[in-house]
Amino acid sequence: MRVKIEKLVYGGDGLAHSDGTTLFVPFVLPGEEVEVTATERSKRFARCRLESVLTPSADRIEPVCPHYGVCGGCHYQHISYEAQLHFKEEILRETLRRLGHLDLHHPITVHASPPFGYRNRAQWKIRPLENRSRRPLERSGDGQSLGVGYFRAASSVLCPVETCAVLSPTLSSVLDALRRGFTDHSLPEEIQEVEAFADAEDQKLLLNVSCSSMRTTKKTVFEKLSQEIAGIESVLLRESRGESMELKGPGFLHCRVGDKRFRVGHLSFFQVNRHVLESLAHTVATSAGSGKLVFDLYAGVGLLSAFLMDNFATVEAVEADPAAARDLEVNAPANGKNISSHNQSAETFLSQWKRKQGAKSPDVIVVDPPRAGLESGALRALLDISAPRIIYVSCDPSTLARDLAQLCSKMYKVKEIHLFDMFPQTYHIESLVRLERAS
C-alpha cells in the first residue's frame, strides 16, 4: 500500500494512517510517500515493512553501514545527523505532552555527540553461520562456521557484521580480532558471547565472555583472547547455563571523566558514550546548584556524586545493585570525603531517612533510574520528602513522562530540559529535567 509518513515516534518508526489503521514503518522520514507491506496486524495498528521510498525527504542520506536495515542496532542512519537531533527533540517534547500531560513551552537544550565512533561498550553474539552454498565448511563439532555480530531487528537470528560504524576505534579492533579468531579457528568454538568495555582513553579493555562450557576451555580462552586482542586489563569468563565464573585480572578498570576517576567493574553499569558523559555530569551539577545536602539515587559507580560533591557539604549516594555498589564504595572516598555510599534501594533509603530522628531535608534529590523509571514506592517517598528541587536523568521518555505526570500533578513544576544524544543513529534519548517545588 502507498502511504504518507506523518511523523517519527519513539521506538524508531514512522507513523502513518490507512483506512482507519495506524501504521508503523521503519527507516522512513516525515513527509515521505512510501510503499509498504503490512507484516503484523491487530484491530487498531499494523507494523509494516518498507518496500520503496517514492518521494524521499531532503533529510534522507545514504547509510554508511553495509548492514543497516538488517542489523537491529541502528535506526536512523538514513537521516542526516542534524535532522536526527531535531526529530529527537520533537519526540521528547511530544512524548512528555502526550503521556505526561505536560504542556511545555521550555526550550530543550540539545547536547550533540560525534555521530559515529562514539560507543565504548558493545556486546557481540557468536553463532553458527548459515551454509547458503551447501558446501562442506571446515569446522570442528557440528561442521558449521561461526559468525560474530548482532541480532537482527526483533529477532534472535544472527546478523554477522564486518564493520560497525558506531564503535570506538579500539572496539572496532576487537571486533576485527574476534572475526579473525573464529575464521582461522584460533578462538574456542565454546564462546557464545563477548562484551567489551573500553576506558575513556579508548586504550584498556574489560571483557565479559560467555561460554557453553568452562571445564576444558577456560585456560585456552584466557590465553587465546590475550594473544588476539591488545589492551585487555581483565577478563570475566562465565558459563552460559550455570553460575560458574572465572576471573583473569583485577576485575575492573579505571575511567576518567573530566578530572574525576572511577573504578568500573565487570558487572557495573557505566555510560557507553565518553564524548557526552562529561557534559551530562556537569549539567547535573549545575542544575542541582549548591547547598548542604544532596541525595544521588540510583548512583551507579558514583559518577554524578563526584561532580555534585564540589557544591554540597554532604552527598548521600544510593545504589541497589551489589556490583555497582562495590565500585561506589571505592569511588566515593576517592573522589570526595563528603560522599557517603549506601547499598540500598532508593525506596528503602528514602523511607529510612524520613524516619530518622532529626533527619535533615535534602536541598536537592538527583534520580537516574533505569529504563523502567521510578518504582512506585520510591516516587511516593520523593513526594513525601518534598525536596525543593529534583533533577531527573532519564534514558526513556515514556517512563519519564509517566513519572513527571505524578510529580507535577502534586507539587513540582518543570523548569529546565536537556537532551543528551548518548546514542546517535538510534532512537534512544537521554534527557535531564529540573523540577522545582511549587510555592
Positions annotated as catalytic residues are 395
Contact 298, 272 (CB under 8 A): no
CA distance 273 to 266: 17
Residue 251's closest CA among 240, 237, 261?
Answer: 237
Tracing cell 521506538 back to the chain, one arrives at: 11
The sign of the dihedral angle between the CA atoms of 254, 164, 157, 230 is negative
Which residues, in sequence order, are bridge partners of residue 334? none
Q: What is the DSSP-derived secondary structure letter of residue 305?
A: H
Read off the C-alpha cell for 122: 558493545
Q: What is the amino acid identity at position 128?
A: P
Strands (E), 42-190: 45-55, 108-111, 121-128, 146-151, 158-160
Contact 301, 371 (CB under 8 A): no
Q: How far is CA 176 from the centre of its chain?
A: 23
Contact 235, 282 (CB under 8 A): no
